Structure 1
Amino acid sequence: MGATVVQLTESKKQIQHTHRVFEDQKKAFRNNPMPSLTERKENLKRLKRALLAHQDRLVEAIDRDFSCRSKDESLIAEVMPSIQGINYTLKNLGDWMKPSKRHVSVLFQPASNKVYYQPKGVVGVIVPWNYPLYLAVGPLVASLAAGNRTMIKMSEFTPHTSALFKEIIESMFPEDLVSVITGEADVAADFSQRPFDHLLFTGSTSVGKLVMRAAAENLTPVTLELGGKSPAIVSPDVPMEDAAQRIAFGKAFNAGQTCVAPDYVLCPADRVQAFVDEFRARFAEMYPSLRDNDDYTAIINERQYNRLQGYLEDARAKGAELVEINPANENMKDGTRKIPLTLVLKTTPDMKVMQDEIFGPILPVISYGSLDEAIHYINDRPRPLALYFFGYDKSHQQHVVDNTHSGGMCINDALMHVAQDDLPFGGIGDSGMGHYHGKEGFLTFSHHRAIFTKQKFNSGKYVYAPHGTAAHRLVYKLFIR
């Protein structure tokens, strides 16, 4: 009872703090509604200096939150893309900020059309637990590049990372420019109800719907980066070692706790056993042991661990064949939240692993007869955040590209499209809406203001009332045809 009261009191303080900071940022934006290129670049450089100076502490904090998070995975997937994203933005921001010239019809000449890219104002960012640094920094870079003020709600499930990131940001930026908010789910719910000028949420589809509903009350535009069941297609003729190795990397990275991790594999029926054998071998090369191997990441918390164990128990009870890949045959159920990567064969539609996004080291393998059958299987389901195709036949590659939808896609790789600075990242349908990263991030957090300009000569007077004149008839003759 006492702990509950303390939590409610702390949440109330956090919510009051959120409201105050929001008002402060709105006021600060009104006082500086169009930061210069120099200001924006200095903010980005300041952020880069902070990340470089504190990278070891940040990696350690993430490791503590997961109980075991591969330090190299944190460097590869959190620190490095954050720094590279800043570098790319610094290099290109001047060009992005320039007004773009647009065509003016003869009907309206002499005049000019331009699109100016204005900051939207105060941007809200809601960060998930699986990549707590990168999924805070990526949106922040885009928001600062576009000239906005930014409030970031960190996940309550990564308390060490959240507290450290808050400390770092507070040491580098005034609160009315960038602010980090911590707290429990009730703080996040209130955060989503603030009338931001744009709100970016990364997380589950179910929570995304709640965020969008809250934003709708304020007509706040949203970017939703959700998840879903991202398929990997193994083609009939790809060398199995190549496909298995790359899928194993994509699935094992962060123990599958990645929104674009391969969620299930579609494999030709006569190649399933070959895939299982090669997958086992390639996984063992990367992770010869699991329990005390710092390269193999743990599940974030008990709740997620129990959810994943429940998926395995449900699949087993319903007749699935489970292929647990535990190269050193270690005891993984005594004092660790690590789960061996497990292939699930002989699946049925009623199994939870075939209904929910897995978000962990469990990989169903589904057989297919023809490539079109695999494509139909994907298209019969909600559109995924990512789609992976493994095969070197270019006609097969194009056939899959032309006949499927997904937020993004890799051909003969997994995950890597997310790290491309000049590619937009975003979902479609149940996997989200909107894009960011690179130029698309700048555009997402900018208002595209259309400005039509004419000077002293006014050609428009030829269509002013009274109507029915010779000038009107000439205009109609020239332009209605």
Structure 2
Amino acid sequence: MNTVDLQALFEAQHQASRAHVDVPLVVRRERLLRMRKLLDEHGPTLAAAVQADFGVRSPRLTEVADLFVLRTLLAHTLRHLARWSRPQKVRTPIFLQPASAMIHRQPLGVVGVVAPWNYPVQLALAPAITALAAGNRVMIKPSELTPHTSAQMALLVAQFFAPEEMCVVQGDAALSSAFCTLPFDHLVFTGSTAVGRKVAQAAAANLTPTTLELGGKSPCIIDASCDMQDAALKIAHGKLLNAGQTCIAPDYVLLPRGHEAAFAEAFRAAVAKLFPRIAGNPDYASIISPRHLARLRTMLQQAQTQGAEVQSMDPAPDAVPDPTAAVQEGGTSRQMAPVLVFGATSGMQLMQEEIFGPILPVVSYDRLDDAITHINTGPRPLALYWFGGNDGVRDDVLRRTVSGGVTVNDTLMHIAHDNLPFGGVGDSGWGAYHGEQGFLRFCHQKSVLVQSRWAMGALFYPPYGARFDQVMGLLRRRL
């Protein structure tokens, strides 16, 4: 697609949104039901497209991490949409009574969605579902790194939706840049912090509000009171889902000093339980591209050169290449074995950048204060995980750290709760969606005051005098 066609699609949606400002509840529901029909009838086709893009990515992984998440979101949204959509009455202060007041939740207009490659179906359609529920038109720009998924999604969306309702545009990074310059009524971007800054700058030229779902260094804090085997299993699952290519994956572990060997043993057992083999295992996703795999291996090589201890967690080490071997073509060759890194320092690339792969640095701490200081001296993370049995320590961590979200004694699960807003803070993003919070994100909340025929506003009109002083004195005593 070229920029002329892109502009034409936007103009069609923009004009439709202005011609039909009021989008009835029945229309919104019908659009959501069409989306559900799309997923029900063509979910396997989308999963196959994701598999083709990754090389190795089990359709079952796409079912649970992409399609199931969308189905639960749709069910939750359809269940609550009528309540979310109706005007919300609010109390009126005494000095404005007997007027009445309410908030009307109106569509913004046209919402743009720039989706990433790691969960290419979920992260394209989840914000689209919520935007449609709020009565908006939607344009989606998927990642150029998942061309099969993008093409299939474009085909299916065109089959179920008119282009002025929702459409998918395909193209390279240059088209993505052009997409972000369109004067959307709201723009959602999911991706890296570096690209998120550029998206925010492009949107600012049009005063387009944005929701930025970024990433960062999401820590796992292990308390001495935790069950190490249970914690290691849940951390391994959160880290190795999609081979670590998850924005809220644990990025590093903060471990009480002296527990390094116990954690390594427990983590190795957890990996073996989840993935008895890495090479050729359909449940273990490959890294998306040779370029991304080369970046991960460069990180490891640098850490080793600077004195870190690298431990492969591969249950069958003879079946895969050495983690520092040259990049090979093909999906199976991009199945990178899980690795623990001990002795990582702040000067290493893997402690400065979001890893986005199956490498897990372990940082030892002596006191909880040291762990909290480590977190608070860096950019605020998208997620934080705490493992332990001491509620007092847990609450201390929650009070003294700031992150987009938290899961206690597990990983990832807060994103699956439809009543919890999902979003970042600081460098990990701004704005949140999911559930009613997402619905409100894609609405304009218009304030409406209905004046009564018995209004007493004239008491505040000039000329001011003794009566005005008496009224103000009475109101001051009532406030």
Q: TM-score, normalised by structure 1?
A: 0.96
Q: Is the 8 A contact 1:14 1:182 kept in 2?
A: no
Among 208, 225, 228, the alignment partner of 1:240 is 228
Match of 2:409 in 1: 412
Query: Is structure 2 residue 116 aligned with structure 1 residue 128?
Result: yes
- Measured after TM superposition, the shift of residue 100 of structure 1 is 1.3
**Contact 2:106-2:443 at 8 Å conserved across structures:** yes
Equivalent position SS for 1:186: helix
Q: How much does 1:110 deviate?
A: 1.0
Partner of residue 386, structure 2: 389
Which moves more between the two structures, 434-443 or 367-376?
367-376
Q: Which of 61, 80, 83 is residue 73 of structure 1 equivalent to?
A: 61
2 CA distance for matches of 1:434 and 1:383? Answer: 14
Describe how 1:33-182 pairs up with structure 2 within 5 A: 33-182=21-170
| TM-superposition CA deviations, 1:262-313 (whole Å, max 9, x none) | 0000000011110001000110111111111101100001111111111011
State the alpha-carbon separation in 1 of the partners of residues 93 and 314 from structure 2.
67
Report which stretch shifted further, 131-140 or 328-337: 328-337
Mapping of residues 321-400 of structure 1, within 5 Å: 321-329=309-317, 330-332=319-321, 335=329, 336-400=333-397
1:257, 1:360 within 8 Å by CA — same for their partners in 2? yes
Q: What is the CA–CA distance in structure 1 between the aligned matches of 2:295 and 2:289, rounded to whole Å? A: 10
Structure 2 unaligned spans of 5+ = none
Alignment: residue pair count: 468
CA-CA distance at 1:357 after TM superposition: 0.5
1:158-217 Cα deviation digits (max 9, x unpaired): 000000000000000000010101100110001100110000100000000000001111
Q: State which of 400, 404, 425 in structure 2 corresponds to 1:403.
A: 400
Partner of 2:432: 435
Asked if 1 retains the 8 angstrom alpha-carbon contact of 2:304 and 2:310, the reply is: yes
> 1:206 matched to which residue of 2?
194
Q: Please give the alpha-carbon distance, in whole angstroms, between the structure 1 residues aligned to 2:129 and 2:417.
A: 15
Structure 2 partner of 1:472 = 468
Match of 2:178 among 190, 198, 218: 190
Contact 1:14 1:181 in 2 (8 A): no
**TM-superposed deviation, 1:40:** 0.5
Alignment deviations for residues 128-155 of structure 1 (CA, whole Å, 9 cap, x no partner): 0000000011101110010000101110
For residues 231 and 353 of structure 1, the distance between their equivalents in structure 2, rounded to whole angstroms, comes to 13
Residue 272 (structure 2) aligns with: 284
**Cα deviation code 1:301-329 (max 9, x no counterpart):** 11111111110111011111000111112
Alignment-mate amino acid for residue 331 of structure 1: V
Q: Does 2:413 align with 1:424?
A: no
Give per-residue Cα distances to partners, 1:44-99, cap 9 Å, x unaligned.
01000001100111111001100101222111110000011001000000111121
> What per-residue deviation string (whole Å, max 9, x for no partner) do you get for residues 426-481 of structure 1?
000000000001111100000011111113223111111222x2331122212345
Q: Distance in 2 between matches of 1:239 and 1:85?
A: 32
User: 459, 462, 465: which is aligned to 2:459?
Assistant: 462
* 3-state SS, counterpart of residue 383 of structure 1: coil
After the TM superposition, which residues 255-274 of structure 1 pair with which residues of structure 2 at under 5 Å, given as runs?
255-274=243-262
Greater mean alpha carbon deviation, residues 133-142 or residues 30-39: 30-39
Decide whether the 8 Å contact of 2:278 with 2:320 is kept in 1: no
TM-score between the two structures when normalised by the length of structure 2: 0.96
Say if 1:128 and 1:154, in contact at 8 Å, map to a contact too.
Answer: yes
- 2:184 and 2:350 mapped to 1: Cα distance? 36
Q: Is the CA contact (8 Å cut-off) linking 1:229 and 1:264 kept in structure 2?
A: yes
Q: Deviations over 1:364-409 (max 9, x none)?
A: 0000112222111111111000000001211111111111100000
Partners of 1:116 and 1:392 lie apart in 2 by 45
Residues 342, 362 of structure 2: 8 Å contact kept = yes
| Matched position secondary structure for 2:422 | coil
In 1, distance between residues paired with 2:373 and 2:108?
41
Distance in 2 (alpha carbons) for counterparts of 1:327 and 1:363: 16
How far apart are the structure 2 equivalents of 1:15 and 1:279?
A: 49
Deviation at 1:239, TM superposition (A): 1.3
Counterpart of 2:467 in structure 1: which amino acid?
A: A
The farther-off stretch of 257-266 and 448-457 is: 448-457
Identical positions, percent: 45
The answer (yes or no) to whether the contact 1:388–1:410 under 8 Å persists in 2 is yes
Moved more, 64-73 or 196-205: 64-73
Name the amino acid aligned to 2:78.
L
Cα distance, 1:412 vs structure 2: 0.5
Residue type matched to 1:425 in 2? F
Q: CA RMSD in A?
A: 1.0
1:457 aligned counterpart, secondary structure: coil
Letter in 1 for 2:340: L
1:320 corresponds in structure 2 to 308
* Aligned mates of 1:270, 1:71 — CA distance in 2: 41
Give the partner amino acid of 1:364.
Answer: P
* CA shift for structure 1 position 421: 1.1
Q: 2: CA distance between counterparts of 1:359 and 1:337?
A: 14
Q: Which stretch of structure 1 is more off in the superposition, 471-480 or 85-94?
A: 471-480
How many Å separate the matches in 2 of 1:70 and 1:384?
A: 29
